Structure 1
């Protein structure tokens, strides 16, 4: 049984390696190996206190365990699941053994095994006996995280079609985005911990976690404390056995789950009263109901404020409150980025609009109004809270002008990007609550982010002019410039969007029906990005990503801080350098950012020229 399931898993892996998700597979494997090597390196660090390395290794193992627990919410359910074999006359324990064997086939389990060999490296620095103890601890810990992941996958599967599941997935996505953008903080924290060590309470807490029991056993073996060597290993084995029993029993029909009902008889009255009499109002009502019921829309609704709040809270660890007034601006920006695939999320329901000539304008305007209704109040409240809590009166013109401009720019760009950069995916009835099971919106998100930031340039330039000329009135005129930009973007970009929808409606519907693998074959409806070979498309968006990170947060923001004289190091690499090296590092980051954008532009222009010819 195990052999057959392993062959099935290998067949699926061969398809992933050669299919559209190959970049995810290879990229994930590379990142995972780098993290595994970094974990082993943690076990070899030198610290002021002997217990610091033990506690730091326990924290890293807890992060790996958390990653296995939360993985099903982000990357989707396992390839082979128990419910797929419900109608097969296979004993549950035999099926469980087969599924467990297939769980070790792939990328994640071998990479995690490499990371857990840090226990052996930790034992080597303590003596020969701890190395012997570390070997079974590595295998027990790997088996523990695999079984734990299977149980959490069962739980997330029950939540996958619910709005609660969408909110949980959104919070995880926001935390991952903030963690990836704030990775410099980790290195700074590790350097501080190696010098001062962890607090006593934190050390006790992290050592009590099951993910730390292997570390405790190895350390106890170095002291010849045999009861404390055996007890953590026995506890880990017993907990693993309990997880095995619970997972085996969960392989039957999931009778305790139920389908999510996207509406009820009590909700028959359309919100808006008389407003629902026109075509635009009808679309508005439909969109508001979709925002309230659809798990994908729930993700967009939660990710934006969660990302903004977490991003602005990270600098508080360095006693910096300069980012708090921009809570609302970040929310508006991420609200536009996460909701940019409006038509792609609707799936082939686009045919309802295509078959009604002249309905495109009402469809676009209704979606714009609904997005503003959802995000504008939230953005205003967060801006007010950020200004009140963070202080910094000199930043208020910047925060208010950028917030207003990004709200209008997001509302204008939202339908335009959704039409011109549509990312096809499964119909709503077929999706699961995991980002990798949805449309591939990476390129679309970068386009939306760059264009939305561009809509805030006039307002920011006005405020900057007032700052340089020491004219308070001109600084506050940035708010007027932001409002004017917002109105123009809403009107003109919305008009461009409904015209593009009327012109390209059939091609967009074809893209939605054929899926991601057929995007480059959509005839005249395909853009030059969609017609690129896969490897050039990956290079194109990778260049954009590197350019955004290097030019904006690592070059322009430190430059403005140096010019203004108000320096907060936070996560900016240049500001952690000696004074003599800060300007050269800023210049280097600017060159890297501009060079990356130039490479992306060259790829795009060459592909556009090739497509036209």
Structure 2
């Protein structure tokens, strides 16, 4: 009876998942992200299979990276794919494990699991090269490994969702995420510091000990006729999957049955004018909305971790830049403020003349949240670094980048708002922001570049005239704050109803009404534009900006994966300029493609009529 119910539930949920996927393919924007992500995934899967049999140590590390991607990927991509939310089935008389099994089976019917399965075929390649018995063992090993990947992803999102329900948990989750993301960029310093010999061998041993390497351990053991070890590895995967399934089932029960009790506001608004009321409302958003607080802690923590990790090898040159790095991340994380409001935007639009006070209030709240801590961090860490030459640079860049970020976050959130789930409709997975995770990530990447560029004039002035860069930085920050805020207020005042309709109905409905020129472009051009916006940061930042900083500060001994530091003089600067030009060109092409795809004026009238 129970088995039959589980089978029927799984079969129905798989059909629902496939139907939703077919519907998603009709949305050109989502189709572009699916195709682009699928192509990148196929390339990575092909590289994993190619490594199989040539160097099993590298393969073990690659599989660990795949599992790490499954675990942390959803945390930075809107909570992962939750087409079938558990809340949809809370009224059905389904046992928790039956529902969990059905949702897990439905989750396997997607692009990401198929690509991961292709990557795990590397275990079959390894087994075929060892013996027939090893090839046979590789089949259950890769299937169990895939189930563990998906279950680990679902369990991580569930645990993360529980943490985000309380303030302390949101802070902890932000710290963990910031450390993980910073480690992906600066982890080489920790590895060099703590693994001074045989880096590859040590990493491979650690990767085999991790659950991601148990399938490879089983295949290699079978190839040596070490059957106890092979069976223990397979049993470990099976046991781990069972434990994660049980834990996920328990968290699903909590998610679908818990209720939130209302509470009285701690302090009522006492403002006497629109300006003060808007400011008080924004400050309360940052202090009471756990997602707002999570983003603030994450941004500041990321700047700290990113610049503190090189201390492991005794390099202090990045310490002064922890504050500016935190501001850049804060600007990207807050690039969709009005999109986060959702349909609550109507409360602002219904008040005549409220656009300007609301925009300025959001800017002041941003500066109040991020200004004092980043300034304190900059002063303390610059003093700790001992680099006297860094003082005019960071004190010039910080005010410029603060003002630029405060201006760009409101302008971007008005001009390029992305529809998300309304706050009152958030599910038990607070990470899930709706169906536009790909578009949200594109805006985040673009903002990383735009906010960084606002520091350009101040940085150039500081490099050329030392302390004269400070007043230039303050002036450029004030101008960016005022100008971009003015643009956002005018746009909100003139096009507020259209923005509300976008946030209410989503991009697909608005696209049908506006008949956007973007849909008339060839698919290859849309895909190319999406690829450029998604990957332009690679040549621009790690291959141009970072090595340029290394060369300017005399720290060119740390080569890592920076191409410019491996070529002889004078070619490093040639490579840096070429990479910077490539990154800027990719961002320009992608941005212009989307910018030129504007609706005709007649279409705006149609939107207003709706």
Alignment of 1:590-609 (within 5 A): 590-593=580-583, 595-596=585-586, 599-600=589-590, 603=593, 607=597
Report what 1:512 is aligned to. Answer: 503
Secondary structure, aligned partner of 1:375: helix
Tell me the CA shift for residue 375 of structure 1: 0.5
Secondary structure, aligned partner of 2:421: coil
| TM-score w.r.t. length of structure 1 | 0.81
Alignment of 1:129-278 (within 5 A): 129-159=133-163, 163=167, 167=171, 170=174, 174=178, 178=182, 197-199=200-202, 206-247=207-248, 254=255, 257-259=258-260, 264-265=263-264, 267-269=266-268, 276-278=271-273
Secondary structure, aligned partner of 1:346: helix
Tell me the CA shift for residue 283 of structure 1: 1.4
The reply on whether 1:434 has 2:424 as its aligned counterpart is: no
The gaps in structure 1 that reach 5 residues or longer are 47-52, 467-474
Secondary structure, aligned partner of 2:420: coil
Alignment of 1:311-330 (within 5 A): 311-313=306-308, 315-316=310-311, 320-330=315-325
| TM-score w.r.t. length of structure 2 | 0.82
Tell me the CA shift for residue 394 of structure 1: 1.4
423 and 249 in structure 1: CA distance in 2 versus 1, 3 angstrom threshold: closer
Secondary structure, aligned partner of 2:576: helix
- Deviation string, structure 1 residues 386-407 (Cα, Å, up to 9, x no partner): 3133332212211111011111
In the alignment, the residues of structure 2 paired with residue 607 and residue 557 of structure 1 have an alpha-carbon distance, to the nearest angstrom, of 33
In the alignment, the residues of structure 2 paired with residue 154 and residue 563 of structure 1 have an alpha-carbon distance, to the nearest angstrom, of 45
Secondary structure, aligned partner of 1:80: coil
In the alignment, the residues of structure 2 paired with residue 294 and residue 130 of structure 1 have an alpha-carbon distance, to the nearest angstrom, of 53
483 and 527 in structure 1: CA distance in 2 versus 1, 3 angstrom threshold: farther
Tell me the CA shift for residue 436 of structure 1: 5.2
For these two proteins, the number of residue pairs brought into alignment is 584
The Cα RMSD (Å) is 3.9
In the alignment, the residues of structure 1 paired with residue 392 and residue 520 of structure 2 have an alpha-carbon distance, to the nearest angstrom, of 43
In the alignment, the residues of structure 1 paired with residue 177 and residue 474 of structure 2 have an alpha-carbon distance, to the nearest angstrom, of 31
The reply on whether 1:37 has 2:26 as its aligned counterpart is: no
In the alignment, the residues of structure 1 paired with residue 152 and residue 253 of structure 2 have an alpha-carbon distance, to the nearest angstrom, of 18
Report what 1:458 is aligned to. Answer: 457
Secondary structure, aligned partner of 1:25: helix
Tell me the CA shift for residue 485 of structure 1: 2.0
In the alignment, the residues of structure 1 paired with residue 143 and residue 33 of structure 2 have an alpha-carbon distance, to the nearest angstrom, of 27
The gaps in structure 2 that reach 5 residues or longer are 1-7, 604-610
Report what 1:17 is aligned to. Answer: 25
In the alignment, the residues of structure 2 paired with residue 506 and residue 515 of structure 1 have an alpha-carbon distance, to the nearest angstrom, of 14
533 and 415 in structure 1: CA distance in 2 versus 1, 3 angstrom threshold: farther
Tell me the CA shift for residue 94 of structure 1: 5.4
The reply on whether 1:122 has 2:126 as its aligned counterpart is: yes
Report what 2:67 is aligned to. Answer: 65
In the alignment, the residues of structure 2 paired with residue 96 and residue 427 of structure 1 have an alpha-carbon distance, to the nearest angstrom, of 26
The reply on whether 1:503 has 2:494 as its aligned counterpart is: yes
547 and 242 in structure 1: CA distance in 2 versus 1, 3 angstrom threshold: closer
Report what 1:472 is aligned to. Answer: none
Report what 1:28 is aligned to. Answer: 37
Pick which of 19-28 and 444-453 moved more: 444-453
246 and 59 in structure 1: CA distance in 2 versus 1, 3 angstrom threshold: same
375 and 133 in structure 1: CA distance in 2 versus 1, 3 angstrom threshold: same
In the alignment, the residues of structure 1 paired with residue 540 and residue 248 of structure 2 have an alpha-carbon distance, to the nearest angstrom, of 48
In the alignment, the residues of structure 2 paired with residue 302 and residue 57 of structure 1 have an alpha-carbon distance, to the nearest angstrom, of 35
In the alignment, the residues of structure 1 paired with residue 314 and residue 419 of structure 2 have an alpha-carbon distance, to the nearest angstrom, of 44
In the alignment, the residues of structure 2 paired with residue 581 and residue 512 of structure 1 have an alpha-carbon distance, to the nearest angstrom, of 49
In the alignment, the residues of structure 2 paired with residue 541 and residue 385 of structure 1 have an alpha-carbon distance, to the nearest angstrom, of 40
